[in-house]
Structure 1
Amino acid sequence: MKVRAITGFFFVIVMLGSVLLGPYVFSVFYLILTSFCLFEFYKLVREGGFKPSRESGLINGFLIFLFFAAQCYFPAWKFIFFLPVCLSAVYIQELYKKTPAPFSNLGFTFLGILLAVVPFLFFHAMAFMNGSENFNSHIPLGFLVMLWSNDTGAYLAGRAFGRTKLFERHSPKKTWEGFFGGVIISAVAGLIFSHYYTELTWQQWVTVAVLISCFGTLGDLVESMFKRSINVKDSGGILPGHGGLLDRFDGLLLAAPIVYAYLYFISN
């Protein structure tokens, strides 16, 4: 428990620093974090007996994030023509492998990019909602705080009142009482944020909080389903007492694209 608390403390400090230290630190940090998450995903898949094209997948994941992040600083659309060439390397690499299930390997290679890279692209884009030259840390900061508030509220409410299983087949410990506790605590965090950061109204902050709670919980269940399908408990051991990076960011995987879509439509 002590190790878990110490790891959690430093994890929160690093995450807050990544958002508050400016646009360049923000972009570089999430470029590196995305690469590590993708590497962790491929490692898990290999433990499950599949052989995704890890090298070409990591290169493509890195370049895809780098390309879209660069759009926030300068027009880089002309470089988009390099992406099809790079993505074709995944197929070429698979051609030279002697494996019984090449398309399963291809599927897991692209699934890694979809699951571990695309969500962080949307999260990164939240900081540039007002244009490429207007970095704003408030929305990604609020996202992280509300995501953590949801996890904390769900844990505390689940322990105190949890009776009805939410989705026992994939996550035996999650309960409906814990889910609603997470929604309430996250909504309270959103309401508090609305008093300090007025980019969004209090109704919009609370709506974002509810979306994070709903789709963050769904992302957690999806990651649990994935781990159970390959018979592993944690996605890794990089965070002592907390498991792997995918374990810490499972709530972001589905919530970030949904929240970005909501913010995009209300701002346009």
Structure 2
Amino acid sequence: MKTRAITGFFFIIVMLASVLINGYVFGVFYLLLSGLTLIEFYRLVKKAGINPDVITGVLNGAFIYIVFALIAVDSDCHRLIFLLPVTLSAIPIQELFKKNSAPFTNIGYTYLGLIFAIIPFTFFYALAYVDRTSANLHYPMGFLLMLWANDTGAYLVGSKLGRTKLFERHSPKKTWEGLIGGIIITAIAAYIISLYFTELPVDRWICIGVLISCFGTIGDLIESMFKRSIDVKDSGGILPGHGGLLDRFDGLLLAAPVVYAYLYFVTNA
């Protein structure tokens, strides 16, 4: 428990620092973080006997992140998106030259890693530029604070009052009571955030909080389903007491794209 607490403390400090310093540090930090998460994903599937194209996948992952980061900052860079079919085609082409018994399984998991580890971080980064004016790091910071509030609330309420299993087949410890507790705690956090980050009214911050609670929980369940499908307990050991990066950022899997879509239509209406 002590190791978990110390790791959690430094993890929060680093995460907040990456958002608070400036937009460049924010972008580079999450580029590196998404790359490490993708490598962790490929290492996991290799344990299950699958051979994804790691180098080609990581290079494509970095390119996808950079392309969408540039588009988020400057919409005139949208032409770069047409290069993606060219770079992504290298994954199945490369498999042609290998002697594997299940080439499409390898190709499929290489692409899945990009969806699982890269896409969520691209949307998270894009939150800072969702209003198309200048970098506003209040949105990604608010997202992180509410995501942590949801995790904390769900854990505390679930451990004390949890009785009704949410998806026992994929995550035996998650309960409906924990989910509801997480939503309530996140809504309270959203209200507090609205007092300091006044870009949005309180009702919209609370709406974002509810989206993060619901879709963050679903992302957590999907990651648990993935780990069970390849028979592993933790995604890695890079964070002592907390598992791997996929374990820590599974909440971004669906929540970041959904929240970005919501904010895009709200701020550009």
The DSSP-based 3-state class of the residue aligned with 1:242 is: coil
In structure 2, the residue corresponding to 1:195 is in which secondary structure? Answer: helix
Q: Which residues of 2 match residues 120-159 of structure 1 at below 5 A?
A: 120-131=121-132, 134-159=134-159
How big is the shift at 1:130? 2.1
TM-score (norm 2): 0.97
**Counterparts of 1:214 and 1:80, CA distance in 2:** 30
In structure 1, C-alpha distance between the alignment counterparts of 2:170 and 2:89, rounded to whole Å: 35
Distance in 2 of aligned mates of 1:87 and 1:252: 23
Could you list the per-position Cα deviations for residues 133-174 of structure 1 after superposition, in whole angstroms to 9, with x for gaps in the alignment?
A: 510111100000000000000000011101111110000011
Tell me the residue number matched to 1:91.
92
Corresponding residue for residue 175 of structure 1: 175
Equivalence for 1:25: 25
Counterpart Cα distance in 1 of 2:205 and 2:224: 28
Q: Contact conserved, 2:46 with 2:52, CA < 8 A, in 1?
A: yes
SS across alignment from 1:71: helix
CA distance in 2, matches of 1:47, 1:59: 22
| Identical pairs, percent | 63
Output the CA distance in 2 between the equivalents of 1:21 and 1:130: 20
Please say if 1:69 is aligned against 2:65: no
SS at match of 1:238: coil
In 1, the alpha carbon distance for the partners of 2:250 and 2:144 equals 12
* Counterpart check, 1:197 vs 2:197: yes
Name the residue aligned to 1:224: 224
Once the two structures are superposed, what CA deviation does each residue of 1:203-261 show, in whole Å capped at 9, x if it has no partner? 00000000000000000000000000000000011000000000000011110011111
Q: Give the TM-score, by structure 1 length.
A: 0.97
- By how many angstroms is 1:93 displaced? 1.1
User: Match for residue 246 of structure 1?
Assistant: 246
Q: CA RMSD in A?
A: 1.1
Structure 1 position 2 matched with structure 2 position 22: no
Give the secondary structure class of the aligned counterpart of 2:89.
Answer: helix
Report the residue type matching 1:263 in the other structure.
L
- Whichever residue aligns with residue 46 of structure 1, its letter is K
State the distance in 2 between where 1:73 and 1:224 align: 34
CA 1:73–1:254 in structure 2 vs 1: closer, same or farther (change >3 Å)? closer
- Whether the aligned pair in 1 keeps the contact of 2:150 and 2:182 (CA below 8 Å) is yes
- For 1:110, the aligned partner's letter is Y
Cα distance in 2 for residues equivalent to 1:71 and 1:255: 20
Structure 1 position 25, deviation (Å): 0.3
- Deviations, residues 69-101 of structure 1 (Å, cap 9, x unaligned): 122444433433432221111012111111111
Who is 1:119 aligned against? 120
5+ residue gaps in structure 1? none
Secondary structure of the residue that 1:24 maps to in structure 2?
helix
Between the aligned partners of 2:128 and 2:56, the Cα distance in structure 1 is: 29
For residue 185 of structure 1, what is the aligned residue in structure 2?
185
Partner SS, residue 251 of structure 2: helix
Matches within 5 A, 1:27-66: 27-66=27-66
| Aligned AA (1:68) | F
Which amino acid in structure 2 is aligned with residue 161 of structure 1?
A: L
* 1:5-32 deviation digits (Å, cap 9, x = unpaired): 1100000000001111111001000110
Distance 1:55 1:84 in 2: 17
**Matched position secondary structure for 2:106:** helix
Is the CA contact 2:73–2:129 (under 8 Å) kept in the aligned structure 1?
no
The match for 2:211 is: 211
Give the paired residue count.
267
Amino acid at match of 2:181: G
For 1:76, give the aligned amino acid.
C
